[in-house]
Structure 1
Amino acid sequence: MPIIAIAIAALAILFEQLIQWKYGPLGIIAFVILTIGLKAKNTWFSSIGAVLIVALLAQSG
């Protein structure tokens, strides 16, 4: 079980680094806001995070 937790944590760190590399600090902020909103079950926070991520994806594509 601890190996699974370590693997999940490593994947999360890798994902955050990938977002920061591709979308910069605003990508990390959007990802953190989305994560906080989902964990707290706060639709306002998760919606703002999702909109920021979509805006970043639309801008880069």
Structure 2
Amino acid sequence: MPLIAIVVAALAIGFEQVIQWKYGPLGIIAFVLLTVGIKAKNVKLSGLGAALLVLLLAQSG
């Protein structure tokens, strides 16, 4: 079980680094809002984070 937790944490950190590299500080803020909203089961926070990520993805495309 600890090995799975380490792998998941490493993937999350890697994904966060990719978001920061590609989308900058606003991408990190959006990712944090999405993550905190999901963990806290807060639909407004997770929706805001998801919307920001979608806007960033649409802008770069």
- Scaled to the shorter chain, the TM-score interval is over 0.9
1:56 — aligned with what?
A: 56
RMSD value over aligned CA atoms?
A: 0.6
2:28 — aligned with what?
A: 28
User: For 1:51 and 1:45, how far apart are their aligned partners in 2?
Assistant: 10
Query: Structure 2 regions of 5+ residues with no counterpart?
Result: none
Q: Which runs of 4+ in 1 moved over 3 A?
A: none
1:15 — aligned with what?
A: 15
TM-score, structure 1 as length reference: 0.95
CA displacement 1:7-61 (0-9 Å, x = unmatched)? 1111111000000001111001000001111111111101110110010000000
Q: How many residues align?
A: 61
Identical columns (%)? 74
2:43 — aligned with what?
A: 43
Structure 2 counterpart of 1:30, one-letter code: A
SS of alignment partner, residue 37 of structure 1: helix
Query: Structure 1 regions of 5+ residues with no counterpart?
Result: none
CA displacement at 1:4 relative to structure 2: 1.1
